[in-house]
Structure 1
Amino acid sequence: MKKIIFILSVLAANSYEAQFKINVEAPSSFTPKEVYLYTLNGSKDVLNGKELKKGNSWQISVDKPYTGMMKLYFPENNASINFISENKDVKMKFETEKDKIVNIDYLDEANHVMNEMQDVQKKKEFILPALYQIQEYYKTKSDFATALNNEVLRLSKATPDLSKFPFVTYYSTNYNKFLEKSAKNSVVTHDEIISFLTKSNEMLESSSLLRPVLVAYLNAGSSATLGADVDKLLKAVNVETPRGQTVLSELIEIFDTYGMQDMKDKYLTEAKSLKCTINERLTNTIATNVNTEIGATFPNYVFNRVTNTKAKSLYDVKADKKVIVFWASTCSHCESELPKLIEKYNAVKAIKGEVIAFSLDNDAVPYGNKVKMLPWINDSELKGWNSSFADTYNVKATPTYYILDSNNKIIAKPDHAADVISYLKLN
């Protein structure tokens, strides 16, 4: 009996050691009370938990081991903080300006090192080349020349010893190899990327590197051999494994984002035909696409802060045709597209149609100012791309359009306002 008790005690101790806490300190003027904690799976945020503020701080316990990128999201003002976990305690504090987060101070060693390293990486890519050119004109011993030389030396020096931080080491090494824009870097090959994707440990999914590395893979070959190159990649990662399915999910979404419809359809069909157990990531990608295909019933949405209607949800709106628009006040394409629909709005109403616009804004002021000029039904969660309907309706860019019939079935997915007008014969 004593042996069993001892073993259980050891297991409990090991389990406890695997947990860590995240401590966040905010100014007393910061009004949000709730915070959500997200981990990362490929390019998707995964909700890990949420916590309420106590005093001027949050303390969030993470129950399971996790190494990789994390995010804090404050839904009340749509603010977020990105950081990392080395499966150890995290501590940070921040300042605010008009309830906006500024000047984040990472107090644990891993995040401090990661923040400094990322700052240097960005400057090496975008600023160092310019500094080299400017340096040629300042050969004197002036204060400016000295400061310029010091900055060039700082940005040029080798990466510091990161051996204490496994995730920072993994991220830095592979970012520098596959993604850093530098004349010194050789062009990575398909085989090098495949080796990286197949041999990496679980930090690949939590690193934020997966999607940009896949884009680098697609750009490394000829468009004439793209299908064969993707087939080669998927064979190597094995789509019957969780990693292979996550890669397949990412590729489908990349093709969707860049308007590569034939490639998207091909690999979505492959995903739907898999006979093995499918992981949650690929299951969600399939479901989102199936729910937004022509002929599918458009998922309902309960309005949040709706204008120009007394309807409580999208399905409550009665119309022979519904034009669904996803837009944002900061979207330049929307600025040119929406006026075309405004001109035809009376014609839409004349055929017993309605326009329902969902905004991916995150700032109430510009949204409120813009929506005053829009005569149709408007709604927004004011959470930007964190809005729930972005995933539900597979929105990859603004503006995005759907046309529904009276039974809320998708009958068209126009690319532009002109296509909406043409489809409804409003010319």
Structure 2
Amino acid sequence: MLKQIIVSVFLLPSVFFAQHTIKGTFTNAEDYKHALLYKILPVSTEYVTSSEVKKDGSFELQLDATVAPGMYKIVYAIPKDEYSFDVIYNGKEDIELTFDSEKGISYQQSTENKLMSNYSSSMTKISQSIGNFYRQVSSDTLALMTIFKTQRETQKNFEDAAKGTIALEFIKANRPYIPNQFEDIKTYIGNLETHFFDNVDFNNKTLQSSSFLLDRMYNYVLGMTTSGDDKLDSYKKNIDAFYLAMKDAPIIIKSSLLLQLWEKMLDLEEESVANYISDAYLLDIAKSLNDQVLVNGLLQFKKTSLQSKAPDFSLDGTDNGKKLSSLNGSDYYVVVFWSSECSHCLHEIPILESYIETLPKGDVQVVAVGLEDDDKNWSKKIKDFPDFIHVLGLGKWDNKIGDDYNVTATPTYFVLDKDKLIIAKPDTVEDLKSFFDKKHF
């Protein structure tokens, strides 16, 4: 009995610490210092382990027996959502890969990841062949049907090969629409669009714990447009169709995907589409989740989005004083949020003043809101800019005017037309100058 206990004690650590590894090499080694591994959950990630990237670009992540099979993210720089890639870990095999920022990932070891990579490559080549056929306006219908037959057989072969693997979840979800008879380009694209989400299960935890649903959403909303369509209307139509496709998804998944789509539209400078996502879907979802931070953020953004009426405020700090809305006589107004203690502001504000002086007198009026803890430095610095309308915003980051304009950094610029509609939000004074230069004063 004692001998059995001793044997068990010695065996336990080897079982518990039984491990696999993820080995990798970055081809541009000098750019990266660490590789961090996160487990991907449906709406979050959990840190697992990390490794230093050696001078030759190699790293090695040790995975003990507590690391469960699933989807993982390797992060190699900040921000982690941008500088990362997903890997499948099945708990049964080591993974070895090479990562190149231009060419992507290649796997030297890992049956599942190789399978997924080969599948993606094969289906991409077939899709390119279909695209080439239609672009050539060929009348060889037999050739097209041969391509579709190859696509159907390739899909089936990979599904058969992936049985019992995590990769199968992605391969099945990616199963494309494949016609059984010849279709012209218009019919084919229409059917692709109609059947785009037929095999996507938005309740599938594996799909939720990856970039698959996000990529699928982007490909549909941004990619399913044809020449001649009004781009904004096309985006909105696609968003409606996407929301209908995921109608049975958990509300937290809907929130996560739509929020990322909202942010993507901001990156694309499509603010009207972002507001459509908010008004039609996301705002109600945020309220259902009692996510007041998101509710406030969506409403706040809309208040200061392009073509919105600029939030009004007093120019002298009194309730009965002159307000922004009452200004007249100029074609344009620049509202700039700055601080007398901000070195970047002290560099850009004089440039702004000098530039305004080159424009026809009175055509552009600057309203400078100083976000300050007190008025000591501010009251001295404003004397350098006598042609500006100066407004003191005490409380700095807790100031109501700054809050109404969702200001999180200084300087921040807004350009208004004569009706006080926001028509531009330049990032820098140089961007502001470019905006007005295009007006050909």
- TM-score w.r.t. the length of structure 1 is 0.49
- TM-score w.r.t. the length of structure 2 is 0.48
Higher relative contact order by CA 8 Å / sep ≥ 6: 1 or 2? 1
